[in-house]
Structure 1
Amino acid sequence: MAIDPLPLPERLAITDAIMQRMRGVVGVDSDYQLAKFLGISTSALSNWRKRGSIPIDQCMSLCVTYGVSLDWLIFGKDETALSGSFTNGLPQSISGSSIPLYDVEGAAGAGRALDHESVIGSFQLDNDTIEQLGINDVHLAGVRVRGDSMEPTLTDNDWVIVDLDQQSYAQGGVFLIWVSGELRIKRLQRLAGGAALLISDNKLYDREMIKFDKMQEFSVLGRVVLRLGEIS
């Protein structure tokens, strides 16, 4: 079922509320001061208000830096998470799953897993959301998308949530993969004979085949189950 976009007046009201909470978090009183603090132009911040849309990266960075819940920043929920609830950068007091965030896609990885990669933050999903999405809350990871090879499905700087327990690509889908020491996000298709086809949704990029005799250079880390990105 398609989800209708929020009417502009509602988006504008939500955006205004988010920006109020942003100002409160960083301790400033005006949009001008907030723009200066975030290192963006006042016109860029003004465009947020006009579009009723704030880049998710800005929200995530603020939450990670100041130890506040993304649920609170965006929806005004879980005010108790504003202080004393983060230990080692991970939220402790919210009922749900704290998903580690890795900025690794497209970069050389330490191995065929995320275990040795650096966690740069965390993203909180409450139990109700996890249940509604029908995903596994035990082995989830957030990964930043780099480049335009998966446009329009995924765009540069989007965050995606990866279920590390879903490694079978027999039915296709978008996956976080390891190829010859590099971590990438691609659509996968299993071919006859055990080969794998790597597909970029951006038609400007050619498809790549991993032949059966080269499968030792290929691993599937998990299935991309959720996209977090700005709606344009």
Structure 2
Amino acid sequence: MKTLADRINQKMAEQGFTQQSLAERAGLSQAAIYKLTSGKTKETKKLIQLASALNVDMQWLATGTMRSNPSTAANAELIGGFDEWDSNTPLLDDEVELPFYREVELSAGTGKFHVAENPGAKLRFAKATLKRVGVSAEHAACVKVSGDSMEPVLPDGCTAGIDTSSTRIKDGDIYAVDYEGQLLVKRLYRILGGAGGIRIRSYNEHEYQDVDCIGTDAEKLIILGRVFWWSVLR
């Protein structure tokens, strides 16, 4: 394919795109796609979006040649930007607000805590995202991870989403639990044989030992839900 127009037209034909459908997929106008496919426009600043929409290598789309080193092949996709919002911003049709859990003191000065919903904190999620991972909005909540026990996977300060309908242990999965009033995010394992029980394990195993909850100790552990998502700011 000698020209950019040739390459775009080839991939459009292979994938069944019209000018309008490609424009919508790439975030361009139909007029811009027409100019590119007709050869009236020889180059575009929207090459990343166009390559992503056509599911092709950006260098091939721009030059007609592929990268010689497979280790530098694209492994990410441009999705879009960020929209600012606060507690006063109305929810979109495809959005829901998920509650946060926190530790709450049972009574002043007792030093005893339980885990409850934090009424002042919410996180917005797209319904489509929850549906894609099989989590219903009414069973979704969030927790904030603190400390270094789950590093490097879940670093201090990251936010995790939990599915409160998923409380059956799958060995090695990450769960949010209420253990004697402490809100923990840990990997869980079933202890088989004998009295049975649950093993609490951190990712940072060098500094944090396993905690085995056996017998009455296992009854003190309440599984709040399985972690299905987490987000990290660097």
- Map of 2:123 onto structure 1: 123
Amino acid in the other structure paired with 2:199: L
Q: Which structure's residues are more often helix, by fraction?
A: 1
Structure 1 position 109, deviation (Å): 7.7
| 2:112 corresponds to 1:99 | no
Instruction: Say if 1:177 and 1:109 are closer, same or farther in 2 by CA, change over 3 A.
Output: farther
Q: Which runs of 4 or more aligned residues in structure 1 lie more than 2 Å from their structure 2 counterparts after TM superposition?
A: 3-6, 93-97, 101-105, 108-111, 117-121
| 2:146 corresponds to 1:146 | yes
- Map of 1:52 onto structure 2: none
TM alignment of 1:22-37, pairs within 5 A: none
Which deviates more from structure 2 when the two are superposed, residues 189-198 or residues 126-135? 126-135
- Map of 1:207 onto structure 2: 210
Length, aligned pairs only? 152
Whichever of the two has the greater Rg, that structure is 2
Instruction: Say if 1:97 and 1:221 are closer, same or farther in 2 by CA, change over 3 A.
Output: same
Query: Is contact 1:103–1:120 with CA below 8 Å preserved after alignment?
Result: no
What is the DSSP-based 3-state SS (H/G/I as helix, E as strand, rest coil) of the residue aligned with 2:135? coil
TM-score normalized with structure 2 length: 0.56
| 2:194 corresponds to 1:191 | no
For CA contacts below 8 A with separation 6 or more, give which structure has more relative contact order: 1
- Map of 1:174 onto structure 2: 174
Structure 1 position 170, deviation (Å): 4.0
Query: Is contact 1:142–1:159 with CA below 8 Å preserved after alignment?
Result: yes
- Which ranges in structure 2 are unaligned for 5 or more consecutive residues? 1-73, 105-110
Query: Is contact 2:103–2:182 with CA below 8 Å preserved after alignment?
Result: no
| 2:217 corresponds to 1:218 | no
The Cα offsets for residues 34-83 of structure 1, whole Å up to 9 and x where unpaired, read as xxxxxxxxxxxxxxxxxxxxxxxxxxxxx345x33xxxxxxxxxxxxxxx
Query: Is contact 1:172–1:190 with CA below 8 Å preserved after alignment?
Result: no
TM alignment of 1:131-142, pairs within 5 A: 131-142=131-142
Aligned equivalents of 1:160, 1:109: Cα separation in 2: 24
Identity percentage of aligned residues:
22
Query: Is contact 1:142–1:160 with CA below 8 Å preserved after alignment?
Result: yes
Aligned equivalents of 1:172, 1:194: Cα separation in 2: 17
Query: Is contact 1:104–1:144 with CA below 8 Å preserved after alignment?
Result: no
Query: Is contact 2:99–2:142 with CA below 8 Å preserved after alignment?
Result: yes
What is the DSSP-based 3-state SS (H/G/I as helix, E as strand, rest coil) of the residue aligned with 1:215? helix
Instruction: Say if 1:94 and 1:123 are closer, same or farther in 2 by CA, change over 3 A.
Output: farther
What is the DSSP-based 3-state SS (H/G/I as helix, E as strand, rest coil) of the residue aligned with 2:137? coil
Instruction: Say if 1:100 and 1:213 are closer, same or farther in 2 by CA, change over 3 A.
Output: closer
What is the DSSP-based 3-state SS (H/G/I as helix, E as strand, rest coil) of the residue aligned with 1:120? strand
Aligned equivalents of 2:190, 2:229: Cα separation in 1: 22
Query: Is contact 1:102–1:120 with CA below 8 Å preserved after alignment?
Result: no
Amino acid in the other structure paired with 1:100: P
Aligned equivalents of 1:216, 1:119: Cα separation in 2: 27
What is the DSSP-based 3-state SS (H/G/I as helix, E as strand, rest coil) of the residue aligned with 1:138? helix
